[in-house]
Structure 1
């Protein structure tokens, strides 16, 4: 995947290095060229000196061909602007913004920008959000411990009861959109082809969810 990290401080550089080691094509943007020293001599990606919300800089970083972007500068306002430009103008599929102000973070979540607060942030967590997943995160709750994800039923899921796809205290199907109607399922509700599920899950249980729903390399149901 092609990724852009804006901000090369301790957190941004750590994320860039982690993603690069995972084999992704990473470009780091920072207004201070000296910040790139944080990446060390073994960083295999690209670096660009410039302002992260300058569209000429973003175009130089090939944002039109980018799969994911993380805005990790020290400014909440800059991160929010970068995230919204990336989502609304360039339609980057995965965008994450680091916001220190939790109240602002909640506002931007409602606007469709995935955010990480200072209490919830972690390099692995950010990497998970940026990397491809068959799960589409609709909303993060609390400090990011619980997520509401959207999933379309797979062939393995069809014909199974909701009770078979639930893990008490970890994974719960909270709604099913079928055709033009959305319903609240019971444990006896049977999944059908093309159902869209909204599932509440602990972040720590996402791996189990993927295996249970048959959307990973696990055996599934």
Structure 2
């Protein structure tokens, strides 16, 4: 997957190196060309000097071929504008923005833009938003048998009930533990309806995780 990152500070450079190590192609955009030194000599991705929400700059970074976009500059306004341009102008589905002011976060979440904060935690959370396939374990029991994992769900599940999502798993045992909705945790019951932007956290036996990933990635009609 090609991924465009706006901002080459500590988070942006960490995110870029991690994604490249995972085999993705990466382009980093920053107004300050000297910021690219944080990437190190081993980084082989694109370095694009310019404003991250400028359409021509984004095109130079390969946004038209990108599968994801991260806005992690030092400015809240720049990040959210760039994220909206990536989503609304170029149709990028996997978009995330770093927001420093927590009071703004809920507003931006309502726009459908996941928001995260702090450095190492931000890089980890950005990876979860930008690489939707598969699951990211958040907790495991001492034996490593039972996991709490955030599992990507297809947009086709929006408007469907949690019970339907659980029933899509071929074998019993996986349970949706909670949702993250507009930045807050929600404990659902079977009749809770999935909304756009919901993050789904599942308690599951490790051996069942691939089946859960596959079922959630498909739409209701495909299961």
Q: TM-score, normalization: structure 1?
A: 0.69
CA contact (8 A) 1:166 1:173 kept: no
Q: What corresponds to 2:94 in structure 1?
A: 94
Report the counterpart of residue 20 of structure 1 in structure 2: 20
CA RMSD in angstroms comes to 3.7
Larger radius of gyration: 1
Cα distance in 1 for partners of 2:202, 2:52 equals 29
Shift of 1:174: 3.8
Give the secondary-structure state (helix, strand or coil) at the position aligned to 1:58.
helix
Question: Is the CA contact (8 Å cut-off) linking 1:157 and 1:214 kept in structure 2?
Answer: no
Alignment match, 2:175: 166
Are the counterparts in 2 of residues 165 and 213 from structure 1 also a CA contact under 8 Å?
yes
Residues 94 and 214 of structure 1, relative CA distance in 2, 3 Å threshold: closer
Cα deviations by residue, 1:44-79 (Å, 9 ceiling, x for unpaired): 111000010111101111211110010010000000
Superposed CA deviations along residues 127-169 of structure 1, whole A, max 9, x for unmatched, are: 121013268xxxxxxxxx9979645579x93676xx74326x5
For 1:105 and 1:72, how far apart are their aligned partners in 2?
14
In 1, the alpha carbon distance for the partners of 2:44 and 2:119 equals: 30
How far, CA to CA, are the matches of 2:72 and 2:38 in structure 1? 14
Provide structure 1 residue ranges, at least 5 long, that are not aligned to the other structure. Answer: 136-144, 176-183, 186-195, 217-221
Of structures 1 and 2, the one with the larger relative CO (CA 8 A, separation 6+) is 2
Whether contact under 8 Å (1:150, 1:197) holds in the other structure is no
Number of residue pairs the alignment of both structures matches:
185
Shift in Å, 1:117: 2.7
- The structure richer in helix per residue is 2
